[in-house]
A and B are shown apart, each in its own frame.
Chain A
Amino acid sequence: MSREKTDFWVGLFVLLGAAALVFLALRAGNLSTFSFAPTYSVSANFDNIGGLKERAAVKSAGVVVGRVAKIGFDDKTFQAVVTLQLDTRYQFPKDSSVAILTSGLLGEQYVGVTAGTEEDNFADGGKIRYTQSAVVLENLISQFLYGSAEKQGSAPAGDAAPKN
């Protein structure tokens, strides 16, 4: 086979590999969700973050406005410290609150931002005061079970109470 022909096929081969990698990165992977827009970071303390992971989405009204940059632990307050990277395009009032929510019943966890009413916006490196922890399904179920058990237990007690 002539040199040009070999070179052509080798070039095609390498191009195919590059195309396959681009496919894996964009179609199968999450490269398309990477945004190179400027961001600012704010941090929030949570009592329990449940299954939240780094690079999880931060949504407000269902729209992705940023990503979870870092998850740490504060051994003074024994709380999780979650650093959020928010898109500079989206500014939120200082008294906005964040909650850890779940998409669907068993889906991925994300951080939801509910806007507040104050005039000033979050500054870069600021702290979010109002947070709501993740709902842990086990706690919810046990609360429900104890609740119903208490109701059953308190029914006779309630009957007994007026007699006294």
Chain B
Amino acid sequence: MTDSSKTLRRGPISRLGGWVRGTIGGLGFFTRFFLALLGRSGTALRRPRLVSQQIHFIGNYSLLIIAVSGMFVGFVLGLQGYYTLRRYGSEESLGLLVALSLVRELGPVVTALLFAGRAGTSLTAEIGLMKAGEQLSAMEVMAVDPMRRVLVPRLWGGIIAMPVLAAVFSMVGIMGGWVVGVVLIGVDAGAFWSQMQGGVDVWSDVANGVVKSVVFGITVTLVALYEGWQARPTPEGVARATTRTVVVGSLAVLALDFLLTALMFGN
């Protein structure tokens, strides 16, 4: 019996089955984790100070990297857009190109990727180390729910910080595109802004970009918290969890971005 089960376990089909079961189980656990956090979110309203601390930690400290990246992305968009548009003699559309690509796609997506690297990893490592240091267990012993006390404020901090960061990214990027396009290359400033205003719709472009950034904020923060919460309480386990946060978070953001884009701008 033990012999046959051993050969079964090693077979490729049962390995596939095990993988499928593990994936579905992981997804279910992830969903229950999310629902448990949502169910405990009342803490965020009762103790807003905890959330504001997390916004400070997650948001304010990420501001510099987001702003600098946004500026350079805007610079590059301005240059590349100008070189391509010049072939068709429509350099005036540079503003529209820069603004649309930033507001619709690059703002939310690049911010989310940077956010996963900058804030997500620190969340995972922090919670993983709390777990390894048995601080979470100590909280439970003191009848403090670590989900309420530790995870919920971080989740809401991330959800609030992410759209702010994405908006700052888009704004700085547009300014960067303006610096390269108008100031350095000499595209007509009036055409740059008026084409942008003519083509960027507040609801279908700006608002959808904000919706995207909120969704990405939930995704990245949740993945980071989940990985930290599930990390094996060893140095190696925390290291792996931190890596997985970046990998899983980034892939989830890119896949979700495709879905959201297809839904929002499909027709």
**Chain A residues in 8 Å Cβ range of B201:** 29-30, 55
Question: Closest A-chain residue to B171, C-beta based?
Answer: A20
A10 touches B56 (CB 8 A): yes
Tell me if B210 counts as interface (CB < 8 A to partner A): yes
Contact with B along A1-45 (1 / 0, CB 8 A): 001001101100110110111011101111111100000000000
Tell me if B63 counts as interface (CB < 8 A to partner A): yes
B210 touches A10 (CB 8 A): no
Tell me if A108 counts as interface (CB < 8 A to partner B): yes
Please pick, from B56, B103, B168, B200, the residue contacting A6 in the complex, using a CB distance under 8 A. B56
Known: A6-B53, A24-B171, A24-B206. A17 touches B163 (CB 8 A): yes
Contact segment of B24-32, B76-84, B190-198, B244-252: B190-198
Tell me if B73 counts as interface (CB < 8 A to partner A): no
B197 touches A20 (CB 8 A): no
B167 touches A32 (CB 8 A): no
A108 touches B168 (CB 8 A): no
Known: A10-B52, A30-B202. A20 touches B170 (CB 8 A): yes
B residues contacting A by CB (< 8 A) are 49, 52-53, 55-56, 59-60, 63, 90, 99, 103, 160-161, 163-165, 167-168, 170-171, 174, 193, 196-198, 200-202, 205-206, 209-210
> Can you identify 10 A-B contacts, CB atoms within 8 angstroms?
A6-B52, A10-B55, A13-B56, A13-B59, A13-B63, A14-B164, A17-B168, A27-B193, A28-B206, A30-B197
